[in-house]
């Protein structure tokens, strides 16, 4: 009886296929070996060429002796290497004139009292304040650029924020600003509608026209608040820290001067301006901000800040004009938001001294100013209350 073949037995066809696979594998191995051999030979030839070139090049040697080719009577003088020497004291120089001033220092032209040499002296500006958020000139430009862009977007869409202040600005850990608290915002038009709410904007950031009871206003009220925020970023404290509407007007007029029909046409027609008929003749005329108040600000930046804090609302720039100002294009350039420092730990913030700002007002009519209260605006101020400092909320 014939034995049945196993189903797993290898046939002749399977044996032939296995032999072909072995031959192909051996041929591929030989081809790889040939490629490796050619690469090794090429590498060896390249190293030989490099070695030949290195052997042809004569090595450079330092000259250690003068030789015997000196002329008669000539002598070798020792070469004394010039090292670093400490700078002379500042009082040994006579200041001639100022050259340039930036966010971090001031460069002046001076002459040495010893040898008369004309040099350039640079005086660094060091901020000793440790309160609030640590901002620099570069970071201030970036913050103001983002904030002005946000205000420009709102005004382009006919939206008044009406409560712009530092406590309503959120700063993320990516260096991005978010504008918050639109509880007092409203749509407007051109020309602005009449009989708008007078009592808007937190007191320290409220424009003089709102304090005087204007009933129709436009985007200029946000520009005034933007200027107050700008000044607060620079000095790390609010610019006008009034305790009441009267005190706020007094602070504004004492720093920026008193308005008149020439500097602010129609000023006398405002409801609360009628009580200011007792403006003394020796009152300070309307003026711009003093550079001594902002020593770290460039000339272009001071012009921008002064334009945003003009008493006459019609003279203030628009948000688009603020963005196009020279301050943002001059050196030093705004700091990239990616390079902003990280925030301190939460525990560190809890130890930091916190300062409160006034609350937003309840909507309504502007408080009336009596003649007696108006007279106190121009009275001599004996003491100013210390108020809140600059602080940003983290998103």
Please calculate the CA angle 319-325-328 and round it to the nearest 5 degrees: 105
Are 190 and 210 in contact by the 8 Å Cβ rule? The answer is no
Provide the pairing of β-strand 105-112 with 93-101: antiparallel
* CA distance linking residue 327 with residue 330, whole number of Å: 6
Per-residue DSSP letters for 27-67? HHHHHHHHHHHHHHHHHHHHHHHHHHHHHHSPPP------T
At 124, which helix (H) or strand (E)? strand 118-124
State the DSSP code for 88.
P
* CA distance linking residue 179 with residue 225, whole number of Å: 13
Is 163 noted as a catalytic residue in this protein? yes
Backbone angles phi, psi at 186, to 5 degrees: -160, 160
Are 264 and 312 in contact by the 8 Å Cβ rule? The answer is yes
State the DSSP code for 76.
P
Residues 6 or more apart in contact with residue 364 via CB below 8 angstroms: 197, 198, 199
Distance linking the first and last C-alpha atoms of the chain: 92
Are 120 and 349 in contact by the 8 Å Cβ rule? The answer is no
* CA distance linking residue 338 with residue 370, whole number of Å: 52
Q: What CA–CA distances, in Å, run from 107 to 95, 100, 104, 219, 246?
A: 11, 5, 10, 39, 42
Catalytic residue, chosen from 14, 91, 131, 163, is: 163
- Residues with catalytic roles: 163
């Amino acid at each position: 009886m014939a034995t049945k073949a196993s189903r797993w037995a290898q046939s002749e066809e399977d044996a032939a296929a296995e032999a072909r696979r072995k031959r192909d594998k051996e041929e591929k191995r030989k081809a790889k070996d040939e490629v490796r051999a050619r690469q090794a030979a090429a590498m060896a030839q390249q190293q030989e060429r490099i070695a030949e070139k290195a052997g042809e090049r004569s090595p450079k040697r330092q000259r250690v002796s003068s030789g015997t080719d000196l002329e008669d009577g000539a002598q070798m003088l020792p070469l004394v290497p010039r090292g670093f020497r400490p700078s002379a004291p500042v009082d040994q120089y006579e200041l001639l004139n100022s050259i340039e001033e930036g966010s971090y220092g001031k460069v002046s032209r001076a002459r040495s009292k010893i040898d008369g040499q004309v040099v350039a002296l640079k005086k660094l500006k060091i901020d000793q304040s440790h309160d609030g958020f640590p901002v620099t000139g570069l970071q201030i430009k970036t913050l103001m650029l983002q904030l002005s862009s946000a205000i420009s977007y709102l005004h382009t869409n006919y939206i008044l924020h009406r409560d712009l202040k530092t406590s309503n600005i959120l700063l993320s850990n990516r260096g991005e600003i978010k504008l918050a608290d639109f509880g007092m915002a409203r749509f407007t038009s051109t020309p602005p509608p009449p009989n708008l709410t007078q009592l808007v904007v937190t007191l320290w950031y409220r424009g003089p026209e709102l304090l005087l009871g204007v009933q129709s206003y436009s985007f200029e009220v946000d520009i005034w608040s933007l200027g107050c925020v700008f000044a607060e970023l620079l000095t790390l404290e609010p610019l006008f820290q009034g305790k009441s509407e009267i005190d706020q007007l007094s602070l504004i007029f004492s720093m920026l001067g008193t308005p008149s029909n020439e500097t602010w046409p129609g000023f006398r027609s405002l409801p609360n301006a009628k009580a200011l008929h007792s403006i003394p003749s020796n009152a300070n005329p309307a003026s711009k901000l003093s550079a001594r108040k902002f020593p770290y600000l460039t000339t272009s930046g001071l012009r921008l800040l002064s334009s945003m804090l003009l008493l006459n609302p019609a003279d203030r720039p628009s948000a688009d004009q603020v963005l196009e100002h020279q301050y943002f294009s001059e050196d030093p350039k705004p700091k990239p938001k990616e390079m902003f420092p990280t925030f301190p730990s939460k525990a560190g913030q809890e130890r930091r001294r916190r300062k409160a700002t006034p609350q937003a007002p309840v909507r309504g009519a502007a408080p009336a100013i009596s003649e007696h209260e108006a007279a106190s605006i121009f009275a001599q101020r004996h003491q100013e209350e210390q108020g809140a400092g600059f602080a940003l909320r983290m998103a």
